[in-house]
Amino acid sequence: MLINISELISTPLKSETFEVPVTMEFYELSGDRFPFREKGSLLLTVANTGSRKLHLNGRWQGTIGIPCDRCLKEVAVPFDIEMDEDVDLSPERQEDLADDSYIEESSINTDALLNHEILIRFPMKILCRDDCKGICLKCGKDLNLGECGCDRRSLDPRMAAIQDIFKNFKEV
């Protein structure tokens, strides 16, 4: 959603608060799509601090479904995002605005802003529980539900030559 801030830019020391509903169905990252389980609303205060500078202060709380890194079950990951940043819209800083992709001329793209903030806080690793056993690499069974019976023993490939020697000289 776009918020028109042209009046805020032109009026010194003016401040306005917006409550913007999140309309995105998925959060996309590197080609993967993660569904929003609880969206909430983005509460954003935009204040003109003078000399074409804005101060953004906002908060969003929501939940995104992210798969466990071991067993691939979906985990509801809560996000509590607080943002507090300054944006310089002066002509000298126009090159820097390309980095702030959520600023579009005299508008703020709240979806892009929220995407940026989620990306910064996106967890490196998600586990459904601390002792998650994952899935079997051979048959794909969830090992948290029980053993599958597959031989999952992995041998060091550097020792394969020695193992072959033992197999060849094995007594019958």
| Domain range list for the chain | 2-121, 138-172
pLDDT at residue number 96 = 56
Tell me the per-residue pLDDT of 145-167, one tens digit each, with 9 for 90 and over.
998 888 767 667 777 777 778 77
- Compute CA distances 70 → 3, 58, 140, 145, whole Å: 40, 34, 11, 13
* Closest of 83, 18, 7 to residue 48, by C-alpha: 7
pLDDT at residue number 72 = 93
pLDDT at residue number 42 = 94
pLDDT at residue number 7 = 86
